[in-house]
Structure 1
Amino acid sequence: MVSKAYRFGIEEEYFLSDAESRGIARKISPHFIEAAQAAFPNELQREMLQSQIEVMTPICENMAQARLSLSRLRAGLAAIALDHDMLLLACGTHPSAVWSRQRATEAKRYDGIMRDLQMLGSRNQLCGLHVHVEVPDEDLRIGIMVRMLPYLPLLLALSTSSPFWQGRRTGLMGYRLCAYAELPRTGLPELFTDAADYHAYVETMMASGAIRDSSFIWWSIRPSEKHPTLELRVADSCTRLDDTLAIAALYRCLVRHLARKPALNGKLTAASRAIAAENIWRAQRYGLHGGFVCADRRAMRPVAEVLDEVLAMLAEDAAALGCGADLASCRSIVAGGTSADMQLAIFEEARAGSGGQDAGMRAVVDWLAAQTRAGGNGQAGTTLRGAA
């Protein structure tokens, strides 16, 4: 019998791109927002910059529910966007957008954040995948957050979709976290000993006026401010829905496994955290094509080998949660490449033609839009308006 425990929800952030120029949509028409909110009143919210939106699934008990929700959201929003001469893109960075030309969304929370962050707020032109998994016991939730650190680089490597920044190849497969690291209270959480230790930090930050509440803590993994969940935030927004669901299944199984095995990663040290940070960098730089530093073996291990070991460890959890098929799709990502791999291949192929750099960027945006709209059915859909 499939367990209904470890309920979860998925949030995806998307870019809105101009359908004609393929550049970022700087100022979003209020008519688009009205149409999108009418279609998805409980699942859509604005982001800090006008060129981005975020969707969220309802609370899900199985992967089929999440797939149905995100398929509906992606297809529906892509259609509404196209009606307003825009393209919906699921990726960590927009290939050609220039941060200095962005406009902030008018909202009290975002106004305060922009005053605090100044230029860094405008540079936060980044889209991520967030997965919440329910862990009702707070001490267990904080403990799992810390013990999850060694697995975060794998989750990032599988999601990389940000090889471009400001119209240039970065040389990295996942540039998003590099830009995000400019913000305060990002990166890996500290090695909190328990919930009391975590609360001592949050309460001190709030009492001093540094933050309003814990939602202003933007670590790669964090306890939710509003829900009894542990929120994964390290992943890039995944272009292909199958990749989103594979990563969500992997994270959900890891949460269950760590809950069942309280001794696993129970004695992490400052060295352990530093190695996890190094492996985060290696995931950003190389994606699936590098390796991870292994403390136990004092060696560099290929990503595929690490994944195989983790999937074998999670077999019982996948069976209990009924997500074996989505979990197995992690191997398909390794075999076929991430969104970043595809973007780079498409860019080079188009650039090699007569169009040069501009043609390469347009081709990447077209692929991103088609794959985002297609969802998980593998079909690119109809020709884009204004497509070359």
Structure 2
Amino acid sequence: MAQPCTFGIEEEYLLVRLGSGQVPASPSPALIGRCREALGQYFAQEMFCSQIEVASPVFSNLHEAREFFQHSRQRLGTLLAEEGMGLYGAASHPSAAWLRQKPATPAHYQQLFDDYQLVARRSLVNGLHVHVGVPPGCDRMQLINRLLAWLPLLLVLSTSSPLWGGQRTGYMSYRRVLCGEWPHMGLPEALPDWAAYERYRALLQRTGSLANDGDFWWALRPSRRFPTVELRICDGCPHLEDALCIAALFRHLVEHSIRYRHDPLPCYRELRWVAQENYWRAMRHGRHGAFIGMHAQQPVTAQGWLAQLQEHLPIDSVEAERACQHARHLLRDGTHADLQLRCLEQASADGMSKAQALQAVVATGACN
């Protein structure tokens, strides 16, 4: 068996007040400084003053990832609690006053807000990103084409943004709806290989559509900074085991695709059509959707789709098997989006006001 791929994880969080559950427009710079000091090189300011990111070191196994994020989440949580604040990890906040949020001060974020205006202002959402290392000589666009069909299933497992502006959105991942307002943030373009990727990038740069140092924000992209493919489709996961499950499954998919990268690939344009349809269904319905399966392109449930993954990509490691077990649990019992909706219904049934019900939902998004 080939050497297992290394990987890294990036998690985005919002800061919330413990009493009200609301997102402060401008947290104390001193508080952000303490967070930065606590995590050092692994801490990053995100787009908003009230949003931060933890970007991990490179991992060799899931045990390392679990230890790192258990420690970083606990350390941040303890530090923030001293200031009456908490760490919120779901992809959308159910009632945040997003228009009041202040852009972060770094110049590249200020440029984003200048360029994209209200689209940027509305993007008060948290994502989970997973990098998996790719060996030299492996064409990352060809690899992405092999991975494309499974992206919506990974989104289903992560869905955690059914509420926005105090309302049910009708979507299980409203975050991905918001992402659709940005350029270059949907599914990766249908580019057959790395040479086509470079031609496409050069065209956009030459015509002023992409800065020379600009990034694509595709749901799955080749990283410009690292020799990795980066999964970006997933909603933020308040429950660490959900994030680790997705990271392990994605790593397994990448390793399998690398191993069989010289095998013929069905028409990637047709695969993209199916992936695009499944992507919409994943956003809209989450685990409750009917999807287009891999076998004979027949309708399949999310649980049936996961079973096809296990059949198509034989599980050959303990970590991948445990990830599949956890994924089956999520698809059977519900993702965090289901948890939020159940919480909202129960709070209303208990006679809580709308504000109290939404505050109860915020409590479910605390990182653990």
User: 1: distance between equivalents of 2:107 and 2:137?
Assistant: 30
User: 1: distance between equivalents of 2:348 and 2:141?
Assistant: 47
Give the match for residue 349 of structure 2.
352
Matches within 5 A, 1:217-366: 217-262=216-261, 266-294=265-293, 296-319=295-318, 322-366=319-363
Q: Shift of the alpha carbon at 1:174? A: 1.0
User: 1: distance between equivalents of 2:291 and 2:125?
Assistant: 25
TM superposition score normalised by structure 1: 0.90
Q: Shift of the alpha carbon at 1:206? A: 2.5
Give the match for residue 128 of structure 1.
127
Whether 2:32 is the aligned partner of 1:33: answer yes
Unaligned runs of 5+ in 2: none
Give the match for residue 172 of structure 1.
171
User: 1: distance between equivalents of 2:311 and 2:277?
Assistant: 24
Give the match for residue 377 of structure 1.
none
| 3-state SS in 1 of match to 2:187 | coil
Give the match for residue 7 of structure 2.
8
Report if the CA contact (8 A) 1:132-1:230 is conserved: yes
Report if the CA contact (8 A) 2:156-2:282 is conserved: yes
Letter of the 2:343 counterpart: I
Give the match for residue 187 of structure 1.
186
User: 1: distance between equivalents of 2:137 and 2:13?
Assistant: 31
Report if the CA contact (8 A) 1:202-1:213 is conserved: no
Give the match for residue 102 of structure 1.
101
Q: Shift of the alpha carbon at 1:315? A: 3.5
Equivalenced residues, count: 368
Q: Shift of the alpha carbon at 1:191? A: 1.7
Letter of the 1:99 counterpart: W
Q: Shift of the alpha carbon at 1:353? A: 2.1
Q: 1:285 to 1:335 in 2, by over 3 A?
A: same
User: 2: distance between equivalents of 1:148 and 1:294?
Assistant: 14
| 3-state SS in 1 of match to 2:287 | coil
User: Which aligned segments of 4 or more residues in structure 1 are displaced greater than 4 angstroms?
Assistant: none
Q: 1:229 to 1:366 in 2, by over 3 A?
A: same
Q: Shift of the alpha carbon at 1:214? A: 6.0
Identify which range, 324-333 or 75-84, moves more after superposition: 324-333
Q: 1:160 to 1:265 in 2, by over 3 A?
A: farther
User: 1: distance between equivalents of 2:10 and 2:294?
Assistant: 33
The CA RMSD over aligned residues, in Å, is 1.8
Give the match for residue 23 of structure 1.
22
- Give CA-to-partner distance per residue, 1:159-209, whole Å, 9 cap, x none: 000010111111111111001110111101112111111011112223333
| Percent identical | 36
User: 1: distance between equivalents of 2:282 and 2:25?
Assistant: 30
Report if the CA contact (8 A) 1:140-1:259 is conserved: no
User: 2: distance between equivalents of 1:137 and 1:215?
Assistant: 23
Whether 2:167 is the aligned partner of 1:199: answer no
Whether 2:69 is the aligned partner of 1:70: answer yes
Report if the CA contact (8 A) 1:114-1:121 is conserved: yes
User: 1: distance between equivalents of 2:75 and 2:363?
Assistant: 18
Q: Shift of the alpha carbon at 1:323? A: 4.0
TM superposition score normalised by structure 2: 0.95
Identify which range, 345-354 or 126-135, moves more after superposition: 345-354
Q: Shift of the alpha carbon at 1:99? A: 2.0
